Amino acid sequence: MELNVSDLTVTRGGIKVLEDVSFAVKAGEALVLRGPNGIGKTTLLRTVAGLQPALRGEVSLDREQMAYAGHADGIKAPLSVTENLEFWAAVFGTGSIAPALQAFDLEALAARPAGALSAGQKRRLGLARMVVTGRPVWVMDEPTVSLDTSAVQLFAEAVRAHLAGGGLALLATHIDLGLAEARVLDVGPFKAKPPALEDFDGAFL
Ligand SMILES: Nc1ncnc2c1ncn2[C@@H]1O[C@H](COP(=O)(O)OP(=O)(O)OP(=O)(O)O)[C@@H](O)[C@H]1O
C-alpha cells in the first residue's frame, strides 16, 4: 500500500492556498507536514482525506482506507469513554476497544462521561478513535494539542504500532513527536502564487 499525492492544488474559500503538492508515503512510514500558520496544512489534509474537493491533482488511495482526526475530537459528551469507542467500533465494523483504551491509558476513565474529561483526556479519547477505526491510513491534524509530555509519548507509540502493523500516517504538527523515523515535508515551497494582474494600472484605480 502506498499513498501517492500528485500535483494536488488545494483551495480555501475559493482561493488557492497550496499548488502542485506531490509526495508519497509507503506502508510503515509516517510523513509530517511542516509550515507556518495559515500556509494550508489543514486544507491539504482535508483534501487528501476527501473532506473537500481538490482543484487539481490526484490522491491515489480510496478514502475508505483513511481515518481523519481534525481539530475537533469527534466525541459525544453524554456517552462514556467506553460508549464513545464502542460507537466508533460499530460504525467502522471493528472489534474490541481494549487495545485503544490501553494505548491511550484510558482504562481508569472508561466509565466517565466524555463531557467530564479534561481537554487532554478528551484528546486522548479522540486519538483512541483512530485505533478503533482499523483503517490503515491515518490523516491527523495537530494531534498533540492539549497533550502533556507523557501523552505525546503514548501517541508516538500508538503511531509506531500502527506503522509496524502495516499502516501509514500523514500528520501536521508543530511539535517534535519524538518519531525519529518520520519524514518531514515543508509545504512552504508549494505556497500558491497570487494570480497575475491582467490590468496593472487598473489595480490602482
Ligand atoms: N473559512 C475560511 N475561508 C477562507 N479562508 C480560510 C478559511 N479558513 C482558513 N482560511 C485561510 O486558508 C489558509 C489556509 O489555512 P489552513 O487552516 O489550511 O492553514 P494551516 O497551515 O493548517 O494553519 P495552522 O498552522 O494555523 O493550523 C489560511 O491563510 C487561512 O487564513
DSSP code per residue over 70-95: -SS----TTSBHHHHHHHHHHHHT--
Mutate to test the pocket of ligand 1, among 8, 19, 41, 186 (most ligand atoms within 8 A of CB): 41
Element of type H or E holding 151:
helix 149-164
Q: Structural domains in the chain?
A: 2-195 (3.40.50.300)
Q: Which residues line ligand 1 (CB under 6 A)?
A: 12-13, 17, 35, 37-43
Residue 203 pLDDT exceeds 80: no
Give 150-162 pLDDT, tens digit per residue: 999 999 999 999 9
- Residue position matching grid coordinates 500558491: 192
Model-wide pTM > 0.80: yes
38 Cα: distance to centroid of ligand 1 (angstroms): 5
10: nearest Cα among 51, 43, 50: 43
5 Cα: distance to centroid of ligand 1 (angstroms): 20
Q: By alpha-carbon position, which residue is closest to atom 1 of ligand 1?
A: 13
Q: What is the ipTM of this complex?
A: 0.93
pLDDT band at 204 (very low <50, low <70, confident <90, very high): low
Q: By alpha-carbon position, which residue is closest to atom 18 of ligand 1?
A: 40
